[in-house]
Amino acid sequence: MELSATSLRDKLQRDLEADHVEVEDTTLNRCAASFRVLVVSAKFEGKPLLQRHRLVNECLAEELPHIHAFEQKTLTPEQWARERQK
């Protein structure tokens, strides 16, 4: 299984029909063991934070057992637009 920022980004983009995805490998030596993600998707509309995170976790169910640290931020397109205006 390929674990990289690119592979995670592609999968999140495709499976969550995301408008925007950022994935950063936060491991010191970039060995793909720790990631920080930002996912913007209309699929998050009307869902509380826990349900949004569950959607991301379900999407990456095969990859998460191989990741040691995973930080995620999930926004709707409207929230993303407001955040970018700050």
How many whole angstroms separate alpha carbon 65 and alpha carbon 4? 14
What secondary structure letter does DSSP report for 72?
E
**C-alpha distances out from residue 73 to 1, 20, 23, 47, 54, Å:** 24, 12, 10, 13, 12
Query: According to the model, what pLDDT value does residue 30 have?
Result: 66
According to CATH, the topology of domain 5-85 is: GMP Synthetase; Chain A, domain 3 (3.30.300)
Query: According to the model, what pLDDT value does residue 28 have?
Result: 82
53 backbone dihedrals φ, ψ, rounded to 5°: -65, -35
Domain spans of the chain? 5-85
Mean pLDDT split into 10-residue runs, the chain, 86 residues: 89 98 88 91 98 98 94 98 92
| pTM beyond 0.85, yes or no | yes
Query: According to the model, what pLDDT value does residue 12 have?
Result: 98
Handedness of CA 13, 16, 19, 20 (dihedral sign): negative
